[in-house]
Amino acid sequence: MIEDHELDIWREQWGSVAESSPEFQRKIQQRIKLQERRFLLGNVLSAVALMGILVFAVVIRHQASWLGTGWATGICVLVFVSAGYRLWVLRGTWRPEIQSTRAFVELWHRRVLARLQLLRISIYVAVGWIITCAALTAANWTTLKPDVKVHPTDWFEVLLASVLMQPVIWFWAAWLRRRKVAELNEVKKTLHEMDGVPD
Partner 1 sequence: MSENRRALEQQFGRILGEHGAAISRLAYSYEVVASVREELVQEIALAIWQALAHFRGECSERTFVYRIAHNRGLTHVWRRRAPHQPLHDLEESDEPADPRPHPEAQAAQTNQRARLMSAIQSLPMTHRQMIVMMLEGLSHAEMGEVLGITENNVAVRLTRARKALKDAIGVRP
User: Which residues sit at the interface with partner 1, rule CB under 8 A?
Assistant: 6-7, 10-11, 13-21, 24-25, 27-28, 31-32, 35, 95-105, 108, 179, 182-183, 186-187, 189-190, 193-194, 196-197, 199
Q: How far apart are CA 133 and CA 141, in angstroms?
A: 12
Question: What is the nearest approach in angstroms of partner 1 to the Cβ of residue 108?
Answer: 7
Q: How far apart are CA 199 and CA 187, in angstroms?
A: 20
Question: What is the nearest approach in angstroms of partner 1 to the Cβ of residue 46?
Answer: 19
CB 62, CB 68: distance < 8 Å: yes
Nearer to partner 1, 20 or 153 (CB): 20
How many of the other CB atoms lie within 10 Å of CB of 112? 20
Nearer to partner 1, 100 or 153 (CB): 100
Question: What is the nearest approach in angstroms of partner 1 to the Cβ of residue 148?
Answer: 47
Q: Which residues lie closer than 8 Å to 123 by C-beta, 6 or more apart? A: 173
Question: What is the nearest approach in angstroms of partner 1 to the Cβ of residue 64?
Answer: 50
Nearer to partner 1, 162 or 185 (CB): 185
CA dihedral of 155, 159, 164, 168, whole degrees rounded to 10: 110
Nearer to partner 1, 103 or 169 (CB): 103
Q: How far apart are CA 39 and CA 50, in angstroms?
A: 17
Nearer to partner 1, 67 or 187 (CB): 187
Handedness of CA 181, 185, 188, 190 (dihedral sign): negative
